[in-house]
Amino acid sequence: MDSKEFTAKTIEEAVAAALTELQVTEDQIEYEILDVPSKGLFGIIGNKPARIQVSVKIAKKIDPLTVAHDFLSQVFDAMHIDVKIEILDNDECKMIHLHGDNLGVLIGKHGQTLDALQYLTNLAANHDAEERVRIVIDIEDYRKRREETLSRLAFRLADKVKRHHERVVLEPMSAHERKIIHMALQDDARISTYSEGEEPYRKVVIALKR
């Protein structure tokens, strides 16, 4: 580690000057006190400032997937749930598949609990990572099955709109699930889809094109 000396009236001011110049936080440095500040004769003559030697710690490379695995293990231990964690790596994202018995509690209504768990895992994994990664968590292929269910729902409701010439408003969905509906119907020449409302109550509307 390269080091640099800093001087100031007090040790604290010398440390603050080092943090400002080096653009780091105090937990990222190590410093040695070279001179303790002292007052000279009559508090004026021979004053000696504080002098420290500062080195920036070498940051350890952190594997976000290891952090994600540890985070999930702690969550499941706290919940007293036996879960097998399988990590898969592909070009688009990092996939984590969870396997076990009775994991419905981790999915929740329409995957809301699963989405929350995924969000928190991404926060933990990317907190100190050098390069941000996107982690997708799935449980027994729930996301694939949910996507298929939503696509079938979109086609069925689009047919209803065509028959009755009235728009259909779906229940509130997450941004990811709304995207599935939009993508399923994007090639239908007679149907348009759009979202309305505010989060977390934003909904997809299926209507005839004008």
CATH code at position 101 = 3.30.300.20
pLDDT of 60: 64
Residues 70 and 129 in one domain: yes
pLDDT tens for each residue of 158-187: 999 999 999 999 999 988 899 999 999 999
Residues 75 and 14 in one domain: no
Residues 122 and 150 in one domain: no
Burial class of 117 by CB neighbour count within 10 A (0 to 12, 13 to 18, 19+): buried
Q: Does residue 55 sit in helix, strand or coil?
A: strand
Q: Please state, in angstroms and as integers, the Cα–Cα distance from residue 136 to each residue in 40, 79, 152, 176, following that order.
A: 64, 21, 23, 12
Burial class of 32 by CB neighbour count within 10 A (0 to 12, 13 to 18, 19+): exposed
From 56, 73, 98, the end of a domain falls on 56
Residues 160 and 125 in one domain: no
Residues 136 and 159 in one domain: no
The answer to whether the CB of 197 falls within 8 A of the CB of 172 is yes
- CATH at 170: 3.30.1370.50
Residues 152 and 108 in one domain: no
From the CB of residue 105, how many other CB atoms can be counted at a distance below 10 Å? 9
Report whether pLDDT(105) > 70: yes
pTM: predicted TM-score of the whole model, two decimal places: 0.63
Residues 108 and 85 in one domain: yes
CA distance 151 to 153: 5
Residues 70 and 130 in one domain: yes
CA distance 18 to 28: 11
Residues 82 and 116 in one domain: yes
Sequence-separated (6 or more) residues with CB below 8 Å from residue 135: 64, 65, 68, 93, 94, 95, 96, 118, 121, 122, 125
From 125, 140, 155, the end of a domain falls on 140
Q: Which range marks the domain in which residue 198 is found? A: 145-208
The answer to whether the CB of 30 falls within 8 A of the CB of 54 is yes
Residues 135 and 157 in one domain: no
pLDDT tens for each residue of 1-49: 578 999 999 999 999 999 999 888 888 889 999 989 887 655 555 578 8
From 88, 114, 140, the end of a domain falls on 140
Residues 28 and 91 in one domain: no
pLDDT tens for each residue of 41-89: 555 555 788 999 999 887 667 788 899 999 999 999 999 999 999 998 7
DSSP H stretches of helix in the chain: 11-22, 64-79, 104-107, 112-126, 142-164, 175-185
Residues 40 and 71 in one domain: no
Number of domains in the chain: 3
Q: Torsion over CA of 196, 201, 207 and 209, rounded to 10 degrees?
A: 30
